Structure 1
Amino acid sequence: MGIDSRLAADLNARLDNIWRDQFSGADDVLAPRYFHKTGASDLLFVGLNPSFANDKIGVALKKLGHEIAEPEVYFSWRNRDRFDLRVCAALEGWAKENYAYYKHHHDLAEELNCGLAQLDLFQFRRTTQKDYLDVLEKAPVFRDRQLQIFDDALAAFNPRCIIVANAKASEIFKDRYGLKFDQGIGTYTLYKNGNMTPVFLSAQFSGGALDRYSRERLFWHVAQAMRRPNS
């Protein structure tokens, strides 16, 4: 499965509607991170939201052959009519292959000999988590409409295993899906359409939030869950 072009277009149109309703007339807001065609993957990582580091993005865009002097202006909501979704897709692909944030994601996927995909609960670009959570707390409808989009994106992937690699995202994911701890496999499970998917709730892999030894235990546990016949 995965996200095909038709679903990506539908999700992006819904994001545009959410941003119009929430940020009408705002000049200091970035456009959402849009969806693009993404192939199926057995292993799905879930984060909280996309960050936006202007300098890093500027470097990445140059490596991709896009001379965009002010990325923050280019990716702003007020510039949406001139925004090229192909640039966004190329940037996401480059980041997943080159940013240090994804190193341990790739290590695990290589160990399991499978592909990986990444979804965030929210598509609102903000680097500081506290600032982001403040926005969501003050705008519950904005929060919930984004989560509805995440629900549909998640259903399209139907992965064999999910790792939620952010402490706050883990809390939200657990509450939203009513996860129960499965004593048989030693982790949480998500049941949908008669299928059971192991879900590992974790802190972020990078930035020292998860120490090396905890990460090694997590990777071992994920490998065991992925090898189970019913996972």
Structure 2
Amino acid sequence: MHDEFNDTLDDIWTKELADLDELLIPNYFGPMRRGGILFVGMNPSFNEKTVKSFFSGKMALDISGRSAFAWSASPRINRASSIAYSEWSQRNYHTFFRFHDVIAKHCERDWNHLDLFNFRSTSQKSFEKLLAQRPHYVAKQMDLFSRVVSSIEPEVILIANANGARRARDFLGLKFDEIVGHYPYKIGDAFVPIFLSGMLTNGVLDTFSRERLIWQISQSIRR
């Protein structure tokens, strides 16, 4: 299934983004577990130091990591390498992903991570500007995101990025349910709880708010 989604990504890049200077290949989808907790971010960052750390000894990056990831008819980094890099990042980028493990362990569930957008960027400000200028790209990416989420059928979804949370709320038509304390989202015949939050790291969410959020997520699973 993820191959089909990645074909769609390539089509979106070709039709909506190919005219951009220094365009990077998308953050391709790898195999994902069904069910569990789905963590959602805005878009993947791009860090050349992290890229070189992963590919060291695997392939020669005699040019910058950014050039190696450049979008072209024959990219130096193929889908398989891109997916392997993403999976490695989730295991080793503890600053960002450690709370995924904490929450999943507390809830005794596996987890997946997705981004609303598969566009690699180091600047949120410039990325938001691009989104404002590319409404067709935004619509296609958000539609693809909803399809991928439906294929995973998660038990609960946490969108941990304020800008991403607002975009997902508006695109998916989410309404806060004051009785259950989350945003119900229908996937198939079931309503899946969605929680909207700021980032779990970088001091955006204080310890007490994070504790309360973890409790709310665990309660939604046990209902």
Could you state the TM-score of these two structures normalised by the residue count of structure 1? 0.90
The CA RMSD measured in Å over matched residues stands at 1.6
Unaligned runs of 5+ in 1: 1-6
Post-superposition, which runs of at least 4 consecutive aligned residues in structure 1 deviate over 4 A?
none
- The answer as to whether partners of 2:200 and 2:210 remain within 8 angstroms in 1 is yes
Residue 170 of structure 1 is matched in structure 2 by 165
Q: 1:42 aligns with which of 36, 40, 44?
A: 36
- The answer as to whether partners of 2:27 and 2:83 remain within 8 angstroms in 1 is no
SS in 2 for 1:164: strand
How far apart in 2 are the matches of 1:189 and 1:144? Answer: 21
Q: Which amino acid aligns with 1:86?
A: A
How far apart in 2 are the matches of 1:79 and 1:30? Answer: 12
| Matching of residue 150 in structure 1 with residue 145 in structure 2 | yes
Q: Deviations over 1:132-160 (max 9, x none)?
A: 01001001001111111111101101101
CA displacement at 1:81 relative to structure 2: 4.0
- The answer as to whether partners of 1:53 and 1:127 remain within 8 angstroms in 2 is yes
- The answer as to whether partners of 2:68 and 2:75 remain within 8 angstroms in 1 is no
| Matching of residue 96 in structure 1 with residue 90 in structure 2 | yes
Residue 58 of structure 2 is matched in structure 1 by 65
Q: Deviations over 1:2-23 (max 9, x none)?
A: xxxxx22221122112211233
How far apart in 1 are the matches of 2:101 and 2:59? Answer: 26
Q: 1:19 aligns with which of 13, 16, 40?
A: 13
What is the 5 A alignment of 1:68-217? Answer: 68-69=61-62, 70-78=64-72, 80-99=74-93, 100-217=95-212
CA displacement at 1:27 relative to structure 2: 4.5
More moved, 94-103 vs 16-25: 16-25
CA displacement at 1:67 relative to structure 2: 3.7
Q: Deviations over 1:100-131 (max 9, x none)?
A: 10011111111111110011111111121111
Tell me the number of residue pairs that the alignment of Structure 1 and Structure 2 aligns.
221
Unaligned runs of 5+ in 2: none
- The answer as to whether partners of 2:38 and 2:113 remain within 8 angstroms in 1 is yes
Would the alpha carbon gap of residues 78 and 129 (structure 1) be closer, same or farther in structure 2, given more than 3 Å must change?
A: same
Identity %: 31
CA displacement at 1:25 relative to structure 2: 5.2
